[in-house]
Structure 1
Amino acid sequence: MDTIETISYARLGARTSGQRTYVSRLVLVVSSLASRIGNLLERRRSRLALLEMTDDQLKDIGVSRCDAHREGLRPFWD
């Protein structure tokens, strides 16, 4: 009877470690995706901020109104 219990525990342990690997990979993928989406949204916010700047503010950072308009209208994934 001891041998059967040992085999059962060994199988259970193998299954649990496999699940941990799957879960850890899933967490990694989800966190990576969330990070990527956050970066895309931040890029979009900064491009929209360029559109709201005055000519003097754009001159301070060395960007023309035309360049700011072109950059502000770009899609967030670009």
Structure 2
Amino acid sequence: MFKSPQAESGLSVAAVAAGNFALNVWNGAPYPSTDPDTVAQRLKDRSDEVYDCFALPGKYPAESGRSPPAPATTGG
């Protein structure tokens, strides 16, 4: 199949542009580091604000979210 020189150069430019874009995405700036305690406090403050907006009774302390261990069973 015969291609014109303009089509080949257009494809080359598109391939280089796509390669540069992919390289910038791959080697982009990393996520900034955060302090978990600061994030947890910000989330608690926001949840307290939501409870206040909905006029829900009481403020609930944060829990670990882990279930208590299941009781051990004995064989028999």
Q: Is TM > 0.5 for Structure 1 vs Structure 2?
A: no
> Relative contact order (C-alpha < 8 Å, sep 6+): which is higher?
1
TM-score range, shorter chain: 0.3 to 0.5
Relative to the length of structure 2, the TM-score reads: 0.39
Relative to the length of structure 1, the TM-score reads: 0.38
Which protein is richer in helix relative to its size? 1
